[in-house]
Amino acid sequence: MPTEAPLSAEALFDVGREAELAGDLDGALTAYAGAVEHDPGRADWHYRLGCVCRKLDRYAAAAGAFRRAVDLGGESGAYLNNLGTVLDALGERTQAMQMFHRAIAADAENAVACHNLGALYAEEGRTREAIRFFEAALELRPDADGYHNLGLVHFQNNDFDRAHDCFETCARQDSQHAVSRYFAALSLFRKGVYADAINRFRDALGLDNRLVRAQYYIGVSLHKTEHFDEALAALLRALDAFPDDGKLHYQLGLTYDAMVMPREAREHYRLARR
């Protein structure tokens, strides 16, 4: 019986592409590796191999494949951006930044590379650069996560007006983005706009009841607006989740004092000091 002829490099790549699209990453990895072994001069094949390695969390192998794609294919925004992501995953942040900068130089409309670069600058506390690249990404491709991340940078910079605007824009684009609603509320709280902050915190909790810290801020806001009974109820709900939080115990002490309940107030002041 005649043996079947081995698959050509092109056929192996096609097998890999079908496997990748079907979610069979191990099969795709084997086929792509075979394809580049037979024909190592195809940049796009190395790129796809790198993408599958990244999906499998094989970051070192992905970096090697993406580097080979860049060597063969030149300054491609997609190749460089993906190389940057795996270098960042490997802890090589300086090199990752260089790749994102190169990706943007190669493709001025590469919104993903702008966003990735903004995120790295934000993590390093370089707020001016972070804002610049997040805004560039949003100008190219407005999206909810982009506005949320830009809002976080403004929030960390104590620019609560701009932060609030970004979080609200995020919430308008994604009505289920609970964390952005939470930070919109927190921005209002920092500005002293307590009544609006309460409503926004409740909105966030309605979307995700894991955001229990909102109960603390609701309690503080209600105390500030002299709704002491409601404040106490919110603070006690927060206490269920954070029983050892000294800041929360201190606020409970203040609220019990305002309600002329000195024994309870003293107990929570004691727990706050502890």
Burial of 227 (0-12, 13-18, 19+ CB in 10 A): middle
Give the model's confidence band at 270: pLDDT under 50 very low, under 70 low, under 90 confident, else very high. very high
pTM reported for the whole predicted model: 0.87
What percent of the chain shows pLDDT beyond 70?
Answer: 98
pLDDT at 211: 96
CA–CA distance, 231 with 209 (Å, rounded to integer): 18
CB atoms within 10 A of CB 220: 23
pLDDT in tens, 95-105: 999 999 999 99
Helices 194-207 and 178-191 cross at an angle (nearest 10°) of 160
Q: Classify domain 213-274 at the CATH superfamily level.
A: Tetratricopeptide repeat domain (1.25.40.10)
Return the higher-pLDDT residue of 263 and 2.
263
User: Quick check: 3 pLDDT over 70?
Assistant: no
The 10s digit of each residue's pLDDT in 37-70 is 999 999 999 999 999 999 999 999 999 999 999 9
User: Which of 54-91 are b and which e, b meaning 16 or more Cβ less than 10 Å from the residue's Cβ?
Assistant: beeebbebbbbbbbbbbebeeebbbbbbbbbbbbbeee
Domain layout of the chain by residue ranges: 213-274
Residue 1 has pLDDT above 70, yes or no: no
pLDDT(2) > 60: no
Residues 163-197: pLDDT tens digits? Answer: 999 999 999 999 999 999 999 999 999 999 999 99
